[in-house]
């Protein structure tokens, strides 16, 4: 059997699960032709890890940094090249397409760059400098898109591209991330129709039960690959498939669509990566790994709320319990770690990990710190806090017990020190790099809570802030660049290196990492409280024959040292190998 025939069989097997009542032979060949897999087929290696400890991603909008009179994508590339080369090697540019709402996630045209931001040449130029991560906004599109306009007119492409619902049906069992009505009444050429809108009435859900919709996205994926995209973020993919008899989340067909996309993408480029954006409870989230045949990476969505709670409470129990429960990612898969993003800090991933009382207390504290709360409907009469909308810098302003204790910077750096050491690939939101504060004016102007954490910097103002050594912006930037520099030199920080949780008391969050060849071990020990802590080195069980270094201070433990003294929110990375600033081989 030829490589093409073998791939065709695999693709058809995926389609037979998705469209079980159809003969999918023609669709199989149409998909392969549109992916140009009838011309060239790469040979992906099973369980291959196309990432090392040198990988780190920055998350940004195309216009997060602006210069008057210059296309924002050009400004962004200029800033990234000048300031982040050597510190991060990947950039996630949030939706840069024409859009109508939700800061890009209501896409009008998937094949165009927002003309106010730049061109495809600008995107490709950034992809030439960094591993480019792009959004595949796959669950829904804008109500102002050509497809939806055609839906209203009753012509293709578009007439059959959207999910319709019957308002007389009981829809209360459908999982919702928002409080708006699920169905949007829409006038069409053939009368009023009720269109499914999981998120907002400007974001109309696409009908993947129609193979033509799947084929459209196959073409879009190939288009992005041709322009340099390497990493695909499948936005809101958990809601993709609709079945009125279910909760319409995490359905088998959704998982199979992801398996199909992985098969297609990695046969085009063996280094390409699929990431699922599934802001849902932890166990459901990690199911998107499949058997190392679905997402290459899943977001570690439980980390942000748990780490925030840990550092503002001074209690590591919940975070330790979660870390112990996390299965190691199989070879060929990895966690994507983050603690802030363009969205808020989701609370659903903390369900079962934090109590309702702890979640509500955290939400109240974030409001005191200047943040806002977004809610979701549980049923017709009940709403729960869904998301904390706050800049991460302000989230650490105060704790449950102290309004202003002078430790804001220390807590902020501690959070990133922990995130950078945990198993997985780190992703840092651009505003966390600078310690950007809440943007109340932007939130007020847009009327959207999430805008509070979507500030737009003027490049000259940002450069002034980063050059002012007394500003917290400069201090945060310098600290994070130092952490990234140290991290990428440590084989034990490979995204798939061994990890074990340590138990050193409720005020200490600690874990152990070891690379595959066992030559390097790192004990990551973090004081998550506002009180000094003393740790007996006998409790860590350091191998006495080895010399041990704190990588963060480049200091060596003395042979007769019995304890480790930690200041409030201090971290140490104790290693038996001092690889600081030595270029790693990439081996684990």
Neighbour-count burial for 80-98, b at 16+ CB within 10 Å, e otherwise: beebbeebbbbbbbbbbbb
**SS3 string of 494-540?**
CCCCEEEEECCCCCEEEEEEECCCCCCEEEEEEECCCCCEEEEHHHH
Domain count along the chain: 2
> Does residue 400 sit in the same domain as residue 461?
yes
Last residue of a domain, one of 432, 462, 492: 492
Segment 385-428, tens digit of pLDDT: 889 999 999 999 999 999 889 999 999 999 999 999 999 999 99
Q: CA nearest 130: which of 86, 171, 195, 173?
A: 86
343 is known to lie in a ligand binding site: yes
> Does residue 424 sit in the same domain as residue 514?
no
* Domain-embedded: residue 30: no
> Does residue 241 sit in the same domain as residue 131?
yes
Give the residue numbers spanning the domain of 306: 58-138+215-492
235 is known to lie in a ligand binding site: yes
Residue 583: what pLDDT? 38
170 is a catalytic site residue: no
The single residue listed with the structure tokens 């999918």 is 24
103 is known to lie in a ligand binding site: no
How is residue 326 annotated by DSSP? P
* Domain-embedded: residue 290: yes
* Domain-embedded: residue 542: yes
> Does residue 90 sit in the same domain as residue 230?
yes
Catalytic residue chosen out of the listed positions 55, 235, 394, 530: 235
Residue 32: band (very low, low, confident or very high) from pLDDT cuts 50, 70, 90: very high
> Does residue 468 sit in the same domain as residue 520?
no
Reduced to 3 states (helix: H, G, I; strand: E, B; else coil), residue 144 is coil
> Does residue 487 sit in the same domain as residue 385?
yes
234 is known to lie in a ligand binding site: yes
CATH number at residue 94: 3.20.20.80
Has residue 497 got a pLDDT over 80? Answer: yes
How is residue 156 annotated by DSSP? T
39: how many CB neighbours lie within 10 A of its CB? 9
Q: What are phi and psi of 230, to 5 degrees?
A: -115, -30
List Cβ neighbours of 440 (8 Å cut-off, separation of 6 or more): 370, 452
* Domain-embedded: residue 8: no
Distance CA(127)–CA(137), nearest Å, equals 19
Q: How many CA atoms within 13 Å lie on the side-chain side of 99?
A: 18
Last residue of a domain, one of 492, 510, 535: 492
> Does residue 464 sit in the same domain as residue 503?
no
Using an 8 Å Cβ cutoff, are 536 and 562 in contact? yes
Residue 385: what pLDDT? 86
Has residue 585 got a pLDDT over 60? Answer: no
> Does residue 558 sit in the same domain as residue 453?
no
* Domain-embedded: residue 340: yes
102 is known to lie in a ligand binding site: yes
Q: What are phi and psi of 305, to 5 degrees?
A: -65, -35
Residue 529: band (very low, low, confident or very high) from pLDDT cuts 50, 70, 90: very high
140 is known to lie in a ligand binding site: yes
> Does residue 127 sit in the same domain as residue 239?
yes
Task: Enter the pTM of the model.
Answer: 0.95
Q: CA nearest 461: which of 130, 154, 141, 79?
A: 79
Residue 39: what pLDDT? 92
> Does residue 470 sit in the same domain as residue 512?
no
């Amino acid at each position: 059997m030829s490589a093409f025939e073998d791939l065709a069989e695999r693709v058809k097997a995926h389609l037979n699960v998705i469209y079980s009542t159809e003969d999918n032979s023609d669709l199989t060949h149409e998909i392969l032709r549109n992916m140009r897999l009838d011309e060239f087929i790469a040979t992906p290696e099973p369980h291959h890890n196309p990432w090392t400890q040198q990988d780190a991603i920055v998350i940004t909008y195309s216009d997060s940094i602006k210069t008057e009179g210059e296309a924002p994508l050009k400004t962004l590339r200029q800033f990234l090249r000048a300031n982040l080369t050597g510190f991060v090697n990947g950039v996630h540019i949030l939706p840069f397409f024409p859009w109508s709402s939700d800061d890009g996630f209501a896409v009008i045209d998937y094949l165009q760059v927002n003309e106010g931001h730049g061109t495809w040449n600008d995107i490709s130029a950034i992809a030439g400098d960094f591993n480019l991560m792009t959004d595949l906004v796959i669950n829904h599109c804008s109500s102002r898109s050509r497809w939806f306009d055609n839906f209203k007119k009753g012509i293709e492409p578009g007439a059959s591209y959207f999910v319709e619902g019957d308002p007389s049906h009981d829809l209360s069992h459908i999982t919702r991330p928002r409080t708006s009505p699920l169905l949007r009444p829409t006038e069409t050429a053939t009368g009023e129709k009720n269109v499914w809108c999981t998120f907002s009435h400007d974001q109309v859900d696409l009908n993947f039960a129609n193979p033509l919709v799947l084929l459209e996205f196959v073409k879009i994926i190939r288009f992005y690959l041709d322009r340099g995209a390497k990493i695909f973020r499948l936005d809101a993919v958990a809601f993709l498939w609709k079945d009125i008899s279910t909760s319409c989340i995490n359905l088998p067909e959704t998982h199979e669509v992801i398996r199909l996309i992985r098969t297609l993408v990695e046969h085009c480029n063996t280094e390409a990566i699929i990431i699922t954006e599934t802001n849902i409870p932890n166990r459901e989230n990690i199911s998107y790994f499949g058997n190392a045949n679905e997402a290459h990476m899943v977001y570690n969505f439980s980390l942000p709320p748990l780490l925030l709670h840990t550092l503002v409470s001074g209690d590591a129990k919940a975070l330790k319990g979660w870390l112990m429960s996390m299965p190691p990612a199989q070879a060929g898969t990895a966690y994507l770690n983050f603690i802030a993003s363009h969205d808020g800090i989701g609370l659903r991933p903390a369900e079962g990990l934090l109590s309702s009382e702890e979640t509500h207390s955290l939400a109240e504290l974030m409001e005191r710190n200047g943040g806002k709360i977004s809610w979701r409907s549980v049923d017709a009469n009940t709403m729960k806090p869904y998301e904390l909308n706050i800049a991460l810098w302000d989230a650490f302003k105060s704790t449950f017990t102290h309004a202003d204790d002078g430790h804001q910077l220390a807590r902020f750096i501690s959070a990133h020190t922990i995130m950078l050491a945990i198993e997985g690939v780190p992703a840092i939101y651009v505003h966390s790099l600078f310690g950007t504060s809440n943007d109340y004016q932007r939130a007020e102007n847009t009327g959207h809570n999430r805008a509070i954490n979507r500030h737009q910097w003027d490049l000259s103002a940002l450069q002034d802030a980063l050059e002012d050594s007394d500003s917290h912006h400069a201090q945060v930037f310098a600290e994070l660049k130092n952490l990234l520099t140290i991290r990428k030199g440590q084989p034990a920080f490979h995204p798939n290196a061994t990890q074990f949780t340590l138990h050193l008391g409720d005020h200490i969050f600690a874990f152990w990492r070891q690379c595959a060849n066992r030559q390097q071990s790192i004990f990551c020990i973090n004081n998550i409280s506002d009180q000094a802590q003393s740790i007996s080195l006998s409790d860590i069980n350091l191998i006495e024959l080895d010399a041990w270094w704190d990588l963060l201070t480049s200091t060596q433990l003395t042979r007769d040292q019995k304890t480790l003294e930690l200041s409030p929110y201090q971290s140490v990375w104790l290693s038996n190998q001092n690889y600081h600033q030595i270029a790693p081989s990439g081996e684990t």
